[in-house]
């Protein structure tokens, strides 16, 4: 059974881009459509209430004028008929006239005449607006009641005393049952249409997201996973002029360049392996030859020592044999350095202080003829920590550097040594951004020409007449085995500085 990769799983997880965008857009749509539906419903309810209020105002004022005309003409018997006719109209729940004490004088329902009006109607009459909607416990729906006082104007003074300001209160209540049913129907229709629009909009947006965002991103992720697995022959297929299309093209270009770089790196690595194998073979052969030469050379040197004593002082032959011994000694030193360089020795790590190691090297250097004419300045860090190192190998590193500094000038040479217990070695390699201890050795010699500065660590490269060109190469090899590094600098005014970095903690 084929196993699903990480990319196929994330398509269905809540952390996927498609899910998050769909969820965010869905929330926005719900909020927008929900708010729109709510405000539409509120507007419809306000409009229905306003329409009912307007209807009540028109009916109340019309009835008020009718009552005044009937009372002014003395035809009060027709008022009862008018009340019954208007009260039978659809939507009219109450139609009555009551006096200041709340007693009903006229009503569309004759049985109410003579009784006290409802407390609600009397409260509406005493309120400033004299109109209110309310929910009736009896009918189960809302109604709108409005009261209108019938003032005692000049036409009414012939039948009513002037002291009476209000002859009666016209009370009209209109049912809002049909209006509420219409609002409920509209609300249901509004919710249905909103839900349908929400579903359709979400579906369309989801399809568009899947088509223009999710699928291109999935193809991009799949290709990235293939590249991460080392397959650089894949390409992203995003045929679009959008940002994702440009991203896909840039990613394809990156894959192409990465593939070319890998091919070049493989070719370079192959050449390096061939070269390293050739150098290793040459090194083994050179070490073998040097080992074979060393013993006969020691015999020749011993014979020369015996032979030189056979000639008296001042004999030219004695001088020739002495020069031969000097050459034999130089050849022996070269062979010894070659054997030491070819020998791969794993460091024997022990805890030690770099300041103490350098101090021992300086003591040895000062015992040599060159060291006796040197002036040495020390700037040791007193907080230097103990680190793991092969102290004998590290001594060899600083001994080689110090000997180079002593040979920089034929007269008095100034050597400055500075240590620091916590630094970061500058470099592009991530390994060199760790914490190191550092020691720098500077001299005031003529310096190193820029065209030779990059070659001084190569084996057998030397500018000295009697040098072997293996000292600095051996120093770098030892530091590589310690996971450290060495750098060299030389200014235009002369002088050279060699800086050694050793890790504070082994990684």
Per-residue pLDDT of the chain (507 residues; tens, 9 = 90+): 444 444 444 444 455 667 777 788 888 888 888 888 888 888 887 887 788 778 878 887 888 787 777 776 666 667 777 777 887 888 788 888 888 778 888 788 888 888 888 777 767 766 776 666 665 556 677 777 778 787 777 666 667 777 777 778 888 888 888 877 887 888 888 888 888 888 888 888 888 777 777 777 777 777 777 777 777 777 767 666 667 677 777 777 787 788 788 888 888 877 877 766 665 665 666 666 666 676 677 777 777 777 777 778 777 777 887 778 877 777 777 776 666 665 656 788 899 999 999 999 988 888 887 778 888 899 999 999 999 999 988 998 898 888 888 877 777 888 899 999 888 766 555 454 568 999 999 988 888 887 777 777 776 656 665 555 667 888 888 888 888 888 888 877 788 899 999 998 876
CA distance 124 to 146: 7
Q: State the burial class of residue 141 (Cβ atoms within 10 Å of its Cβ: 0-12, 13-18, 19+).
A: middle
Domain assignment present for residue 440? The answer is: yes
Report if residue 236 sits inside a domain.
no
Find the domain containing 418 and state its range: 347-503
pTM beyond 0.85: no
Pull the structure tokens for residue 467: 């040098």
Whether 51 is covered by a domain: the verdict is: no
As for how many domains the chain has, the answer is: 1
User: Other C-beta atoms within 10 Å of 269: how many?
Assistant: 11
d(CA 415, CA 437): 20
Strands 350-353 and 485-490, bridge-based pairing: unpaired
The answer to whether residue 327 is domain-embedded is no
Q: What is the pLDDT of residues 88-140, one digit of tens each?
A: 888 788 888 888 778 888 788 888 888 888 777 767 766 776 666 665 556 67
pLDDT digit string, tens, across residues 333-387:
777 666 666 565 678 889 999 999 999 998 888 888 777 888 889 999 999 999 9
Which pair of tokens denotes residue 498? 């060699």
- Do residues 337 and 474 touch, judged by C-beta distance below 8 A? yes
Token couple for 14: 């809540």
Q: Give Cβ neighbours of residue 221 (< 8 Å, ≥ 6 apart).
A: 7, 10
Cα separations (Å) of 42 from 177, 188, 506?
Answer: 17, 14, 74
Q: Can you tell me the distance from the alpha carbon of 145 to that of 443, in angstroms, rounded to the nearest whole number?
A: 110
Asked whether 467 and 330 are in contact (CB, 8 A), the reply is: no
Question: Which residue in 290, 330, 337, 287 sits closest to 471, CA to CA?
Answer: 337
Three-state SS at 49: helix
Judge whether 370 lies within some domain.
yes
CB 152 within 8 A of CB 162: yes
CA torsion, ordered 321, 325, 330, 336, to nearest 10 deg:
140
Q: Which residues of 62-78 are buried (b: 16+ CB within 10 A; e: fewer)?
A: ebbebbbebbeeeeeee
Q: Where are the beta strands (DSSP E) in 205-359?
A: 350-353
pLDDT at 59: 81
Residue 416 covered by a domain: yes
CA 26 from centroid of its chain's CA atoms: 26
Q: 410: domain CATH number?
A: 3.30.565.10
Question: Of 358, 351, 445, 341, which Cα lies nearest the Cα of 398?
Answer: 358
Phi, psi of 333 (to 5 degrees): -65, -40
| Alpha helices, DSSP H, located in 229-374 | 243-308, 316-342, 354-365, 369-372
Is 229 inside any structural domain? no
> What would the DSSP string read from start to end of 368-423?
SHHHHTEEEEEE--TTPPEEEE-HHHHHHHHHHHHHHHHTT-SS-EEEEEEEEEEE
Question: Looking at the domain assignment, is residue 337 inside a domain?
Answer: no
Would residue 175 be called left, alpha or beta, if left means φ above 0 and alpha means ψ between -120 and 50 degrees?
A: beta
Spatial contact of 459 and 470, defined as CB atoms under 8 Å apart: yes
Angle (deg, nearest 10), helices 354-365 and 391-406: 50
Which residues, in sequence order, are CB contacts of 71 under 8 Å at separation 6+?
79, 156, 159, 167
Rounded to an integer, what distance in angstroms lies between the CA atom of residue 209 and that of residue 22?
A: 8
Average pLDDT, the chain: 77
Take residue 274 and report the two structure tokens written for it.
């061939």
Per-residue model confidence (pLDDT) at position 385: 92
pLDDT value of position 12: 44
Measured CA to CA in angstroms, residue 308 lies from 77, 293, 298, 301, 323 at distances of 170, 22, 15, 10, 10
Task: List the beta strands (DSSP E) in 2-91.
Answer: none
């Amino acid at each position: 059974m084929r196993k699903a990769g990480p990319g196929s799983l994330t398509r269905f997880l809540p952390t996927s881009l498609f899910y998050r965008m769909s969820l965010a857009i869905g929330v926005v749509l719900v909020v927008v459509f929900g708010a729109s539906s709510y405000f539409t419903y509120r507007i419809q309810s306000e409009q229905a209430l306003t329409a009912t209020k307007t209807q009540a105002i028109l009916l109340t004022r019309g009835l008020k004028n009718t009552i005044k005309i009937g009372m002014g003409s003395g035809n009060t018997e027709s008022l009862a008929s008018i009340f019954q006719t208007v009260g039978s109209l659809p939507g009219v729940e109450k139609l009555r006239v009551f006096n200041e004490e709340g007693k009903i004088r006229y009503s569309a329902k004759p049985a109410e005449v003579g009784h006290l009006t409802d407390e609600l109607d009397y409260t509406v009459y005493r309120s400033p607006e004299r109109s209110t909607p309310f929910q009736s416990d009896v009918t189960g729906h809302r109604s709108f009641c409005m009261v209108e006082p019938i003032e005692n104007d000049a036409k009414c003074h012939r039948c009513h005393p002037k002291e009476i300001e209000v002859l009666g209160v016209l009370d009209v209540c209109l049912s809002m049952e049909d209006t509420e049913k219409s609002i409920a129907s509209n609300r249901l229709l509004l919710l249905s249409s909103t839900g349908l629009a929400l579903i359709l909009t979400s579906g369309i947006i989801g399809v568009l997201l899947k088509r223009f965002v999710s699928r291109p991103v999935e193809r991009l992720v799949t290709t990235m996973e293939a590249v991460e697995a080392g397959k650089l022959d894949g390409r992203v297929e995003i045929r679009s002029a959008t940002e994702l299309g440009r991203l896909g093209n840039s990613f394809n270009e990156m894959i192409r360049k990465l593939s070319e770089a890998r091919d070049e790196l493989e070719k370079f690595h192959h050449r390096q392996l061939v070269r390293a194998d050739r150098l290793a073979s040459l090194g083994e052969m050179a070490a073998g030859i040097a080992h074979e030469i060393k013993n006969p050379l020691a015999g020749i040197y011993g014979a020369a020592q015996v032979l030189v004593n056979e000639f008296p002082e001042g004999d030219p032959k004695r001088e020739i044999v002495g020069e031969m011994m000097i050459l034999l000694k130089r050849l022996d030193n070269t062979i010894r350095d070659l054997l030491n360089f070819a020998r791969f020795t794993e460091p024997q790590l022990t805890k030690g202080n770099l300041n103490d190691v350098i101090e021992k090297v300086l003591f040895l250097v000062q015992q040599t003829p060159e060291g006796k004419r040197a002036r040495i300045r020390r700037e040791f860090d007193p907080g230097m920590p103990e680190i793991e190192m092969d102290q004998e190998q590290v001594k060899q590193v600083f001994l080689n550097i110090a000997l180079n500094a002593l040979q920089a000038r034929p007269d008095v040479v100034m050597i400055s040594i500075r240590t620091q217990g916590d630094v970061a070695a500058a470099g592009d390699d991530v390994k060199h951004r760790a914490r190191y201890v550092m020691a720098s050795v500077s001299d005031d010699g003529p310096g190193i020409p820029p065209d030779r500065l990059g070659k001084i660590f190569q084996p057998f490269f030397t500018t000295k007449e009697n040098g072997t060109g293996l000292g600095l190469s051996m120093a770098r090899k030892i530091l590589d085995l310690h996971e450290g590094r060495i750098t060299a600098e030389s200014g235009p005014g002369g002088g050279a500085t060699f800086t050694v970095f050793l890790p504070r903690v082994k990684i």
